[in-house]
A and B are shown apart, each in its own frame.
Chain A
Amino acid sequence: MSDAIIEVSGLSHTYMKGTPMARKALTDVNVVINRGELVAIIGRTGSGKSTLVQHFNGLLRPDSGHVKVDGRDIWARGVSLRDVRRRIGLVFQYPEHQLFEETVEADIAFAPRSMGMTPVQVDEAVRDAMRIADLDYDSLRGRSPFELSGGQKRRVAMAGVLAMGPEVLVLDEPTAGMDPRGREEVLSEIAALHGKHGYTIVLVSHSMEDVARFAQRLIVMDHGTVVMEGASHEVFRERDALVGMGLGVPQVTSLICELRAMGHELPGDVITVEQAVEVLAPMLGAAGRGGDRV
């Protein structure tokens, strides 16, 4: 049986409710995040994905519906939202814009310190967070966060969330605006957080290629509702529907689709370059050897 850590049921949310500017962002959303999984939420801008994840730790309050963490409604009497926010760590878009301290160490220490940890505990939390985020403590702790590379800045911002000791990390567009080097750096960090350190990860992303490489399960949002859900290779089978929503599929998935349409017998669940190589190499390898006889 799956082990739910976050359960969202019947969730609706309207921004500026009761004003002429009211805008419905979520309608009757039902979503479960299981412990230990890496799940991605995809959808175009305005589809409601950022609104949804801000409900996961109680940053927004539902108009109707429930958000449960470990089976307890986070808006029920007696539940500490502070505790919920510690356990469900949310890393916003462009998190490096929120760095403000003079040193890397002080910036990462900010949250644990304001949670009331003792100096010794804070120090330990900072060291742990930097180790987990693969940031060298000795050489980086005294540096200004503003003089680091883009990828490092973003990992410092992530370490600031890790220092609170969360169980779930929700990352909203963690690679937005980064060059390929920074993107690789942040993505391999996320893979390590999940694989090596066992965090439950919710990834909000525009990049189908990234999602295909890392996520086990996809939740697709459109116009404030969940329209598709399932294993990544199953969801990417629905190429036309995804394109219709302003999304896409990885290039290799499109390629295999085109080849199938040309009448070639190929599996319909190829979503990464590695898988495509595995499928095509043997078929073409024979053709290649045939050519060698000439």
Chain B
Amino acid sequence: MEPIIRIENVSYTYEGGEQDQVEALLDVNVRVDAGVFVAVIGHNGSGKSTLAKHMNAILLPTRGDVYVLGMNTRDRSMLWNIRQTVGMVFQNPDNQIVATTVEEDVAFGPENLGVPPHEIRRRVDEALTLVDMRGYEQAGPHQLSGGQKQRVAIAGVIAMRPKCIVLDEPTAMLDPVGRQEVLRTVRRLASEEGITVVHITHFMSEAVMADRVIVMDDGRIALDGGPREVFSSPDALRRLQLDVPQVTELAFELSRRGVKMPRTPLTVKELAEDVDALLSGRYAR
């Protein structure tokens, strides 16, 4: 089956004048299959945002090709179809709302697609329900918190009915409460709506909830696998200057001291279960 996104031997060079060429991607290959929740992590300058921007033809590769449901992003005649298939949410909550009210903003995309008015109404209501923003239809952007603005931006993308949504560090500028709100929404898109999600972040704790984690470093893919697999090499992650969740780090430190940890824990609950089992085993003896 054709994957939603197929990135083949892609390199990308930012041209900043004669000397200022930055090779942001180097021969990258990625396939994103339908229905999968992928997190892409890496520090600033690792190429993760550049990669994301290739996924709906905001950037075109310097070398190599990107296919969205088989459509080459170089094919200008497919641009609309590509952008309708893969929607994008950006980092700054203040740069994404274009209309004066929430519902107008969410309606903006479908209106441009020529969707009939009654259908637009339905889509706006559905999208706002999905992001938990019903009741804010008439609110202006200045009345919303950062997390609410990001959720409206997500609703605007959802209303276009994309198969895939790419979120480029949507939580980077939010406080912990706003982050939780947005993450809850993202998770719901993936698990309940069956939308393919590509979530770009530098918070490792957010990568834990994905089906698959891609770690970028220096324009290349450094690690790629399930979260438990990726997090089980904390030395590699540290070398890449990414931090691991505290519980994962703690389990790693304990196993270095000879404790036989049954797995790489990703959450507080998992490690609590494991430590409880170990301690209780001893008490039972």
Interface of A toward B, CB cutoff 8 Å:
44-45, 149-150, 176-177, 179-182, 184, 206, 209, 246-248, 250-252, 254-255, 258-259, 262, 264, 273, 276-277, 280-281, 283-291
**A247→B245 contact, CB < 8 A:** no
**B275→A254 contact, CB < 8 A:** no
Contacts across chains A and B counted by CB atoms under 8 Å: 104
CA distance A246 to B180 in the complex (A): 10
Q: List 20 other contacts, CB 8 Å, given A255-B268, A280-B275, A281-B259.
A: A45-B145, A150-B44, A177-B173, A179-B43, A180-B43, A180-B202, A180-B243, A209-B246, A254-B268, A258-B268, A259-B275, A264-B279, A273-B253, A281-B253, A284-B279, A285-B257, A287-B281, A287-B282, A288-B259, A289-B258
Interface on chain A toward B: helix, strand, loop, or mixed SS?
helix
CA distance A6 to B165 in the complex (A): 49
Closest Cβ of chain B: how far from A98's Cβ, in Å? 17
**B259→A206 contact, CB < 8 A:** no
**B258→A288 contact, CB < 8 A:** yes
Interface of B toward A, CB cutoff 8 Å:
43-45, 145-146, 172-173, 175-178, 202, 204, 241-243, 245-247, 249-250, 253-254, 257-260, 268-269, 271-272, 275-276, 278-279, 281-282, 285
Question: Using Cβ atoms and an 8 Å threshold, which residues of chain B touch A289?
Answer: 258
Identify which of B43, B254, B269, B285 contacts A281 (C-beta below 8 A).
B254
CA distance A129 to B178 in the complex (A): 35
**A181→B259 contact, CB < 8 A:** no
**A252→B246 contact, CB < 8 A:** yes
Question: Using Cβ atoms and an 8 Å threshold, which residues of chain A touch B269?
Answer: 258
CA distance A182 to B145 in the complex (A): 26
The 6 closest A-B pairs by CB, nearest first: A251-B246, A258-B272, A179-B202, A181-B241, A179-B43, A287-B282
Question: Using Cβ atoms and an 8 Å threshold, which residues of chain B touch A246?
Answer: 176-177
Question: Using Cβ atoms and an 8 Å threshold, which residues of chain A touch B43?
Answer: 179-182
Considering only CB atoms, which chain B residue lies closest to A252 in the complex?
A: B246
**A262→B272 contact, CB < 8 A:** yes
Closest Cβ of chain B: how far from A152's Cβ, in Å? 12
Closest Cβ of chain A: how far from B276's Cβ, in Å? 5
CA distance A225 to B71 in the complex (A): 57
CA distance A287 to B258 in the complex (A): 10
Q: List 7 A-B contacts (CB under 8 A).
A: A251-B268, A255-B247, A255-B275, A258-B269, A273-B246, A273-B250, A276-B250
Contact A277-B250, Cβ < 8 Å, known A180-B241, A251-B245, A290-B282: yes
Question: Using Cβ atoms and an 8 Å threshold, which residues of chain B touch A177?
Answer: 172-173
Identify which of B242, B245, B278 contacts A284 (C-beta below 8 A).
B278
Question: Using Cβ atoms and an 8 Å threshold, which residues of chain A touch B177?
Answer: 44-45, 246
**B176→A248 contact, CB < 8 A:** yes
Considering only CB atoms, which chain A residue lies closest to B201 in the complex?
A: A179
Considering only CB atoms, which chain A residue lies closest to B281 in the complex?
A: A287
**A288→B172 contact, CB < 8 A:** no
Identify which of A44, A182, A284 contacts B259 (C-beta below 8 A).
A284
CA distance A182 to B45 in the complex (A): 12
CA distance A288 to B259 in the complex (A): 5
**A280→B176 contact, CB < 8 A:** no
**A283→B279 contact, CB < 8 A:** yes
Closest Cβ of chain B: how far from A51's Cβ, in Å? 15
Considering only CB atoms, which chain A residue lies closest to B279 in the complex?
A: A264
**A273→B249 contact, CB < 8 A:** yes
Question: Using Cβ atoms and an 8 Å threshold, which residues of chain B touch A206?
Answer: 175-176
**A182→B254 contact, CB < 8 A:** no
**A45→B175 contact, CB < 8 A:** yes
CA distance A90 to B272 in the complex (A): 41
CA distance A285 to B269 in the complex (A): 21
Considering only CB atoms, which chain A residue lies closest to B271 in the complex?
A: A255
Question: Using Cβ atoms and an 8 Å threshold, which residues of chain B touch A262?
Answer: 272, 276
Considering only CB atoms, which chain A residue lies closest to B43 in the complex?
A: A179
**B250→A181 contact, CB < 8 A:** no
Contact A45-B275, Cβ < 8 Å, known A209-B246, A252-B246, A284-B259: no
**A277→B282 contact, CB < 8 A:** no
Considering only CB atoms, which chain A residue lies closest to B247 in the complex?
A: A251
Question: Using Cβ atoms and an 8 Å threshold, which residues of chain B touch A149?
Answer: 44-45
Question: Using Cβ atoms and an 8 Å threshold, which residues of chain B touch A180?
Answer: 43, 202, 204, 241-243
**B176→A44 contact, CB < 8 A:** yes
Considering only CB atoms, which chain B residue lies closest to A260 in the complex?
A: B272
CA distance A180 to B175 in the complex (A): 16
Identify which of B44, B175, B204, B254 contacts A44 (C-beta below 8 A).
B175
CA distance A291 to B278 in the complex (A): 10
